[in-house]
Amino acid sequence: MANNFARILSGKRNVGIMSLVGAGSLTAAFLLNREHVTAGAQVRRVYPASADYPDLRKHNNCMASHLTPAIYAKLVDKATPNGYTLDQAIQTGVDNPGHPFIKTVGMVAGDEESYEVFADLLDPVIKERHNGYDPQTMTHPTDLDSSKLKSGKFDERYVLSSRVRTGRSIRGLSLPPACTRAERREVEKVVVDALAGLKGDLAGTYYSLTHMTDQEQQQLIDDHFLFDKPVSPLLTCSGMARDWPDARGIWHNNTKTFLIWINEEDHTRVISMEKGGNMKRVFDRFCTGLKEVERLIQEKGWEFMWNERLGYILTCPSNLGTGLRAGVHVNLPKLSKDPRFTKILDNLRLQKRGTGGVDTAAVGSTFDISNLDRLGQSEVQLVQTVVDGVNYLIECEKKLEKGQDIKIPPPVRK
Amino acid sequence: MEKINDKMAKLTIKRLSPEEEFPDLSQHNNHMAKVLTQDMYTKLRDRATPNGFTIDGVIQTGIDNPGHPFIMTVGCVAGDEETYEVFKELLDPIIEDRHGGYKPTDKHKTDLNPDNLKGGDDLDPNYVISSRVRTGRSIRGFCLPPHCSRGERRGVEKMSVEALDSLSGDLKGKYYALKNMTDAEQQQLIDDHFLFDKPVSPLLLASGMARDWPDGRGIWHNDTKTFLVWVNEEDHLRVISMQKGGNMKEVFNRFCTGLTKIETLFKDKGTSFMWNEHLGYVLTCPSNLGTGLRAGVHVKIPNMSKHAKFEEVLKRLRLQKRGTGGVDTAAVGGTFDISNADRLGFSEVELVQMVVDGVKLLVEMEKKLEKGQSIDDLMPAQK
């Protein structure tokens, strides 16, 4: 643990770590001194933990389920080396008691070290959210060898589009809830420099949100690529929308099949997508692109946040591990009305969303179907789960069309 | 050399250079953006208040909200009383620009003696639908809403409710905590137009003052529903006196009596309101310093409001117009919210006097315009 932090503190740039020492005089201001600090540094506290403990009686999110007064008292005096505190990490869960469609996580990480410093709360949250994955004893497999994927081409009479997304964070820079403007700009610079090195069918252009022309903006909207300032209070309460649109932007390749969001909910969100059902090609491009970007940032002395306990580190604990959501927009008019639909999805380890994404309901009979899991399974395993699962759903739909009965499949994993 | 306070703990803050951190304000039009330079930012970012509030905390709302359609916003907030000292270099010019040239060396007069108000009991109720005076108060020793912890916010609530519960006579009333209110209570408060809800304005949200909603927030009002206190909304306390009709004198009487009583109750408990002789009453937003007072009426002036000289008249009278929904709204059907434009550099009595005299004149002008007469001979001088 100490080695990890030491490496970050002596990182690529000349970053000054300062500490603030307060004083009692009403009118005195305080100068920040330069000092190296270690994880678990002290935090300013005026009240005892019991007076600051949030009222979570009406709350239903993972943070609220696991934040006992004892854990709060233990962690509230600590901060990460970047000064990020427990109160900041849980603010979004305090401000958002519940969500109509899903049990939300209710907390975020401000930096890589959050997952260590606040492990007493994050580990049980991770365990609940990721189906029993225990960060203290288990290791996460990373596998971006897309050649291992079997039969990834869907029947295009049903599957309208295929998409794989993940996120990546740049080690040594704070995450969106906590980053300063300069850190955010640094993320943009590092990633855009790397992306400029992509070639062939991956070659593309960056569009900064601050500088895009009206014409570029309209094109990005028409392509359904443009992301806007988040409106979901789940996100805004965590502080990740500060200074919008400074250092935010969209990069995509010329063929519009590989897209990267910079500084939205994570440092980067990487998306490979196409119309139609060729998930194999989507996943091939995804893996090739990711590995190429990683190589390019490593040339400049940077790396992604990753460890074998938690896989790829992202802002939301729900995206740890692979951070991967592989999905399709699929038309299932008969199956979606069958009362067994939900159970079938559960057993296949799949999730349904509306075609507008996570906070939407389906329109008509076209659903967004994707993997439920993120952590504890590799990228190849998760995409395979989606391929096998969606093929099964299509088989069910075909059977129902012919008036035949369908079966609920056995659970694919415990 | 700085003194060390044993209550204080260390905060660690990783920083890149001030040039790299400086916000992009090229699209911005608020007071903060007008004043903040690279040099000023470089100097101020090495400081923090004793409670750990930094320059980035002060200016975040102004960075996130480049401009407002109806008014030139301030673009910064205070996280505690000390903010106004520690970040003087930024806040003094903003205060000067916002408050009509108020200098760092100027002194502010406080006058809450309602007997000093002349007239004000006879605004024509055929035009003046309602009268209202509001201000804010902050409790010394607690951080302000952008920066307070849950414990502090609850402390403010507890102390305020204790003080309010001991009011008597026509000020006697009851507290409704936002998080404990019954459906029936909530509906009644909505019907009375008393209930405040979680702010939606990004100006407020971006400053962090809506954290932990609705914990520690509530509404207190007297039994006759003419004196109302909001706890922990944009300020520790917002105090409102209001009634239907045009008797501003009575509204102001109750306002002063209530405030004075509450202040006495706090002093008995060993604390006080944040106040100093330069800035008057200290509140979250620099626009509310001094008196924090907005005295206003809802008045029907359909003819006057369409007159070419309407804005000029308001300007000379030192009055401001708003829609009847408050600061972020437009007027509906010729009924306007007319109130004092100033907050700092004039006393409470002086400001309410301006409203009383000014509204009287506007109503006279409206009556003349109704009869098709000119208002040229009624044009006021610049106050």
The predicted structure's pLDDT at residue A11? 29
pLDDT of residue A181: 96
Label residue A43 by pLDDT band (50, 70, 90).
low
Say which of B12, B151, B210 has its CB closest to residue A46.
B151
Instruction: State residue A8's pLDDT score.
Output: 31
Q: pLDDT for A32-41, tens place per residue? A: 333 333 445 5
Least confident of A85-89, A231-235, B49-53, B326-330: B326-330
Contact between chains at A181 and B22 (C-beta distance less than 8 A): yes
**B14–A83: do the CB atoms touch at under 8 Å?**
yes
Which pLDDT score, from 0 to 100, does residue A6 have? 31
Please compute the mean of the pLDDT values over residues A170-186 and round it to a whole number.
Answer: 96
Q: 210-249 in A: which are within 8 Å (CB) of B? A: 210, 236-237, 241-244, 246
Chain A residue with minimum CA distance to B52: A22
Q: Is the ipTM of this complex over 0.95?
A: no
List chain B residues with CB under 8 Å of A81: 12, 14
Strand partners, B300: B335
Kindly state the percentage of chain B with pLDDT values over 90.
86
Average pLDDT over residues A14-31: 34
The pLDDT value recorded for residue B195 is 86
User: Are residues A326 and A279 in contact, defined by beta-carbon separation less than 8 angstroms?
Assistant: yes
A33 near B CB under 8 A: no
Quickly state the pLDDT bin for A12 (edges 50, 70, 90). very low
Closest approach of chain B CAs to the CA of A314, in angstroms?
20
The pLDDT value given to residue A5: 33
CB nearest to A243's CB, from B63, B155, B205: B63
pLDDT in tens, B195-254: 888 888 999 999 999 999 999 999 999 999 999 999 999 999 999 999 999 999 999 999
Is the distance from CB of A334 to CB of A400 less than 8 angstroms?
A: yes
- Please write down the HEC assignment for all residues of chain A: CHHHHHHHHCCCCCCEEEEECCCCCCCCCCCCEECCCCCCEECCCCCCHHHHCCCCCCCCCHHHHHCCHHHHHHHCCEECCCCCEHHHHHHHHHHCCCCCCCCCCCCCCCCCCHHHHCHHHHHHHHHHHCCCCCCCCCCCCCCCCHHHCCCCECCCCCEEEEEEEEEECECCCCCCCCCCHHHHHHHHHHHHHHHCCCCHHHCEEEEECCCCCHHHHHHHHHCCCCCCCCCCHHHHCCCCCCCCCCCCEEEEECCCCEEEEECCCCCEEEEEEEECCEHHHHHHHHHHHHHHHHHHHHHCCCCECEECCCEECCCCHHHCECCCEEEEEEECCCHHHCCCHHHHHHHCCEEEEECCECCCCCECCEEEEEECCCCCCCHHHHHHHHHHHHHHHHHHHHHHHCCCCCCCCCCCCC
- Annotation-wise, does B45 bind a ligand? no
User: Which residues on A lie below 8 Å from B154 (Cβ)?
Assistant: 51
Q: Is A164 annotated as a binding residue?
A: yes
Distance from CA of A17 to the nearest CA of B (A): 5
CB spacing of B14 vs A16 below 8 angstroms? yes
Instruction: Give the model's pLDDT for residue B1.
Output: 27
The pLDDT of B15-25, averaged and rounded, is 91
In this complex, is the C-beta atom of A19 within 8 Å of any C-beta atom belonging to chain B?
yes
The predicted pLDDT at position B92 comes to: 97
Task: Report chain A residues whose CB lies below 8 A from the CB of B205.
Answer: 236
Residue A210's pLDDT is what?
A: 93
Find out whether A59 is annotated in a ligand binding site: no
For residue B217, say whether it is annotated as part of any ligand binding site.
no
What residue of A is the nearest CA neighbor of B5?
A23
Q: How far, in Å, CA of A93 to CA of B268, rounded?
A: 38
What is the band of A359 on the pLDDT scale with cuts at 50, 70, 90? low
From A301-305, B123-127, B199-203, B244-248, the region with the lowest mean pLDDT? B199-203
> Which residues of chain A have a CB within 8 Å of the CB of B24?
210, 246
